[in-house]
Structure 1
Amino acid sequence: MIGTALRGIFTLPDLRKRVLITFALLAVSRIGFWITVPGVNYDVIEEIAGRQAGTWIDFIGIVTGGRLTNASIFSLGVMPYISASIIFTMLVKLVPSLERLQKEGPQGYRKIQQYERYATVLICIIQSSFIVAWMTSVTAGNERLVPNATFSFRLMAIVSMTAGTVFLMWLGEQITEFGIGNGISLLIMNGIVARMPGKFSMFISNIARAVRQGVNPAKEVTELAIFVLLFVGIVAFVVLITQGQRRIPVQQQKQTRGRRVYGGMRYYLPLRVNQGGVMPIIFAQAILMLPIAIISSIPGLQSIRFWFNYGTFWYIFAYVLLILFFEYFWTALVFNPIEMANQLQEHGNFIPGIRPGRRTAEMLEYILNRVALAGGTFVAFIAIVPQIVSSLMGYDIFLATILGGTGILIVVGVALEFVQRVEAQLLAREYEGFMRKPMRGR
């Protein structure tokens, strides 16, 4: 079945063109990550790359697909665009003028996208200014990452990083329009997947070192096998929950026109288990890292960093609570039970056994709260999997990040969306999909 689907991809000219454009633009995006900002000492980059593993800099790279330790023109990745999108997603619900603009349809959506682009450039300038300040303070031995930290270097670095992010944003829009899937999401996944071979190579290095020393590498091979099995199991679990839905039955009212009866059909209103996606983890990480870093820099309050250090009990406890809170927050932001109940009533639909209007809104809110609890628990568990695996099985925390956290949620979610888009194209042309039997004539 999968072989038939793959043959269908390369048989259909339009689909083949879209898939090839997608992979070609993703390949182009990887080139920029190896172009360093002019004026940076490249010999220092390799040393600081290992030194910053597992820190907030590494986390930002996992979230956005960027690589700050490379000091490249794409160091920021698409993080500024993500920030702008999140800001406007919340503003649309809070600012009446933006809400009216969104309801205007495609024209209003394009206008909001234009505002997002302007905000992206502004955020790029602010974030790149902080990154440049960090770059000028980095040293390795007696060498500095930036030998001559002049004003002209700072200006050129800020412009280079801003231009790099704008170019990535343009690439994402081109993939969305001419390729398959959401371009920005695919760029993020591309950056995360590019890190995985380097992490798996740690196992290969351990096995090769054991063989060179004449030691039986059974222990290293067993560790690799267990790690692969854990990875496959967690991916399967994430796919299961990501695809999971709470389906609410909805009945359409019957309408009689002359001697004909219309309507009366039953369908389902699907509520995703994980409504928030990766947003709760991103918000929780930001809340934990930034304020604690600022507070702990105040004299007399340095002990706070000790209590909330990565992997400690209080860090994990606060992390889980924040994830649950932001799961509820994001779900309430994107799904309005009152608005949904009014739309159902306006279109002559109702939930069987529930009175339309206020009672329907109360029931939707009741169900949504419980779905959000299940989704928040799932996200919190995936977020702390690296700490659990690292403490129980002794794996390096930098390596264990493959098994959980933001990265795996993004990769699985984007991969599923990409497969579904390709499958929809195949089914529309009467080909078999990846996971279904033929659906001809539908």
Structure 2
Amino acid sequence: MKRSPWRYIWKSIDIRNKLLLTLGILVIYRFIANIPVPGFNSEVINALNSSKSAAGDLISILNMLSGGTLSSFSILAMGVYPYITASIILQLLGPIIPAIEEKMKNDPREGRKWMEKWTMYLTIPMALLSAVGQIGLFNQIVPGMAVLKNYGWSGSNLLPTIANVSTMIAGTMIAIWLGQIISEYGIQQQGLSLIIFSGIVSQMPSNLVKILADQSSGWYMLIISLAVLLLTVFAIVYIQQGTRFIRLMIPGQRISYRGIKSGGSTTLPLRVNSVGMIPLIFAQSIITFPALIASFFVNSGAAWVKNSASWIQQNLSGSSFLYVLLYFLLVVGFTFFYTSVTFMNNDYGTSLKKQGAVVPGRATGSETQNYLAKIQNRITFPGAVFLGLIAILPYILGAILNTSANATMLLSSAGMLIVVGVVRDIIDYLQSDLGQHGYEEKLIR
């Protein structure tokens, strides 16, 4: 009789402590998320809810990415996205600068440490740009109404402004620190993902209120939203579990716990979507960055600079056709890019050669690596297109139902992908941890 291992989770002191620590850190994070930046003008929120400007659309997008902390101008308003942006920049520089690529390839462990250190260094200027940009966006909603009192870079406002911006940067660093604590002492390697996960899930009650706010069609929209939610989750799980198995031959003799055996065969699994929700996070960070930078120049004295900044905000935020198209293309492009980087770092050709495993009909080493890379790129294509369609699904539904993208779903499709991916990774981690603690012996009676 097969029995579920999950009833043993609470019996394992180590796993129980990890779960309690993770839950405690997430509670602390959500508590801090409700602390506003000093001097916050709450009247701007009322203007935000009724704003139809490009700045208002962009703030709505950034608010979704931050887990609702931006609408209350929390000290965690930027979330962990400056860190993600910094990570994207360094990973993009890898193939361009040979020294970085060589460092990562020659000694992966030291390369990861180097990457983490410089990602943290680059996070601070990225957070500074994001903080100033977000304040500028809020100030555009209602002319003459500032989101922060005593905000300005001159005179008596200088010190309060520096203090407020520093508080927002510190909030981002606190969020990153909490995520790292989870990764080190809680559910390992899932810290930042869980921070983002908690922010997305926390938006569900407010999204439900928005959907039901329309008394004439609220329940109709809710039924559609639930149906889309279930179908999308099913499609996400189905695609993410898609795997191509490559047959491997192991010639010669091998030693097992039952003695010495002759060569055998095994398989190498290559997933259709091997990078999960990372391309969506990358694409969201990149596509909002130009509009964020443009917010610095909207009130420029030069007419061409002001017009260019306004055009960028109009077309690279909200649900404009150009924004949706670029979002789709970025998701597809980042899926191929990150899959390629991950596949190159794994270097299956060298690893299989060391293990004595060969792909039938292929020479070991670089030929095997190129062959596997070709297969990975081929199966990644449908996965990349699927991720792109998932990303723009709210905008497609909004166009069909003649409503805004934010009013059609309890969770954004990107949010659902992140949630499903994080839940799947947590389940895999807990199953592995249960096995390491010896509870796999009790699965079969």
**1:193-248 CA distance string (max 9 Å, x none):** 11111101234444xx57xxxxxxxx644432332122011112112212222221
Aligned-partner residue type, residue 348 of structure 1: G
Distance in 2, matches of 1:194 and 1:165, equals 18
Instruction: Name the SS for the 2:120 alignment partner.
Output: helix
Instruction: Give the equivalent residue in structure 2 for 1:86.
Output: 88
Instruction: Name the SS for the 2:33 alignment partner.
Output: helix
Aligned-partner residue type, residue 401 of structure 2: M
Alignment counterpart, residue 169 of structure 2, candidates 149, 162, 175: 162
Contact residue 66 and residue 78 of structure 1 kept, 8 A: no
Instruction: Give the equivalent residue in structure 2 for 1:179.
Output: 186
RCO (CA 8 Å, sep 6+): is it higher in 1 or 2?
Answer: 2
Does 2:417 align with 1:409? yes
Go from structure 1 to structure 2 and tell me whether the alpha carbon gap of 1:54 and 1:193 turns closer, same or farther (over 3 Å shift): farther
Alignment of structure 1 residues 190-201 onto 2, 5 Å = 190-201=198-209
Does 2:39 align with 1:39? yes
Aligned-partner residue type, residue 280 of structure 2: I
Distance in 1, matches of 2:94 and 2:347, equals 15
Instruction: Name the SS for the 1:323 alignment partner.
Output: helix
Alignment counterpart, residue 381 of structure 2, candidates 357, 369, 373: 373
Alignment of structure 1 residues 20-169 onto 2, 5 Å = 20-48=20-48, 51=51, 55-65=57-67, 67-92=69-94, 94-96=97-99, 99-100=102-103, 103-104=106-107, 106=109, 109-135=112-138, 137-138=139-140, 140=142, 143-149=145-151, 150-169=157-176
Instruction: Name the SS for the 1:265 alignment partner.
Output: strand
Instruction: Name the SS for the 1:266 alignment partner.
Output: strand
Go from structure 1 to structure 2 and tell me whether the alpha carbon gap of 1:185 and 1:112 turns closer, same or farther (over 3 Å shift): same
Long gaps (5+) in structure 1: 211-218
Alignment counterpart, residue 196 of structure 2, candidates 183, 188, 193: 188
Q: Please state how far the C-alpha of 1:118 moved relative to its aligned partner.
A: 2.2
Distance in 2, matches of 1:204 and 1:349, equals 58
Long gaps (5+) in structure 2: 152-156, 299-303
Aligned-partner residue type, residue 100 of structure 1: K
Distance in 1, matches of 2:65 and 2:192, equals 12
Distance in 1, matches of 2:119 and 2:285, equals 21
Among all aligned residue pairs of Structure 1 and Structure 2, give the percentage whose two residues are the same amino acid. Answer: 29
**1:351-404 CA distance string (max 9 Å, x none):** 123333454234223212212211111111101211222222345411235454
Aligned-partner residue type, residue 131 of structure 2: S
Q: State TM-score, norm by structure 2.
A: 0.81
Instruction: Name the SS for the 1:38 alignment partner.
Output: coil
Instruction: Give the equivalent residue in structure 2 for 1:227.
Output: 225
Contact residue 19 and residue 187 of structure 2 kept, 8 A: yes
Contact residue 221 and residue 408 of structure 2 kept, 8 A: no
Instruction: Name the SS for the 2:249 alignment partner.
Output: strand
Go from structure 1 to structure 2 and tell me whether the alpha carbon gap of 1:401 and 1:87 turns closer, same or farther (over 3 Å shift): farther
Distance in 1, matches of 2:25 and 2:42, equals 26
Go from structure 1 to structure 2 and tell me whether the alpha carbon gap of 1:161 and 1:286 turns closer, same or farther (over 3 Å shift): closer
Mean Cα deviation higher: 69-78 or 40-49: 40-49
Go from structure 1 to structure 2 and tell me whether the alpha carbon gap of 1:185 and 1:309 turns closer, same or farther (over 3 Å shift): closer
Distance in 2, matches of 1:25 and 1:337, equals 32
Distance in 2, matches of 1:196 and 1:360, equals 46
Go from structure 1 to structure 2 and tell me whether the alpha carbon gap of 1:167 and 1:255 turns closer, same or farther (over 3 Å shift): same
Aligned-partner residue type, residue 130 of structure 2: Q
Go from structure 1 to structure 2 and tell me whether the alpha carbon gap of 1:28 and 1:3 turns closer, same or farther (over 3 Å shift): farther
Alignment counterpart, residue 246 of structure 1, candidates 230, 244, 247: 244
Distance in 2, matches of 1:305 and 1:122, equals 22
Go from structure 1 to structure 2 and tell me whether the alpha carbon gap of 1:314 and 1:105 turns closer, same or farther (over 3 Å shift): closer
Q: Please state how far the C-alpha of 1:188 moved relative to its aligned partner.
A: 0.5
Distance in 1, matches of 2:307 and 2:36, equals 39
Q: Please state how far the C-alpha of 1:262 moved relative to its aligned partner.
A: 4.9
Aligned-partner residue type, residue 15 of structure 2: L
Instruction: Name the SS for the 2:170 alignment partner.
Output: helix
Distance in 1, matches of 2:21 and 2:404, equals 37
Mean Cα deviation higher: 156-165 or 80-89: 80-89
Q: Please state how far the C-alpha of 1:415 moved relative to its aligned partner.
A: 1.4
Does 2:432 align with 1:424? yes
Distance in 2, matches of 1:99 and 1:62, equals 37
Cα root mean square deviation, aligned = 3.6
Distance in 1, matches of 2:206 and 2:346, equals 49
Distance in 2, matches of 1:251 and 1:47, equals 66
Instruction: Name the SS for the 1:68 alignment partner.
Output: coil
Instruction: Give the equivalent residue in structure 2 for 1:273.
Output: 272
Aligned-partner residue type, residue 400 of structure 2: L
The count of corresponding residues between Structure 1 and Structure 2 is 424
Mean Cα deviation higher: 313-322 or 147-156: 313-322
Q: Please state how far the C-alpha of 1:339 moved relative to its aligned partner.
A: 3.7
Distance in 2, matches of 1:263 and 1:125, equals 61
Contact residue 3 and residue 444 of structure 2 kept, 8 A: no
Distance in 2, matches of 1:345 and 1:278, equals 31
Mean Cα deviation higher: 192-201 or 38-47: 38-47
Go from structure 1 to structure 2 and tell me whether the alpha carbon gap of 1:123 and 1:102 turns closer, same or farther (over 3 Å shift): farther
Distance in 2, matches of 1:272 and 1:351, equals 17
Aligned-partner residue type, residue 91 of structure 2: T
**1:222-280 CA distance string (max 9 Å, x none):** 432332122011112112212222221222221489xx965623222222212343344
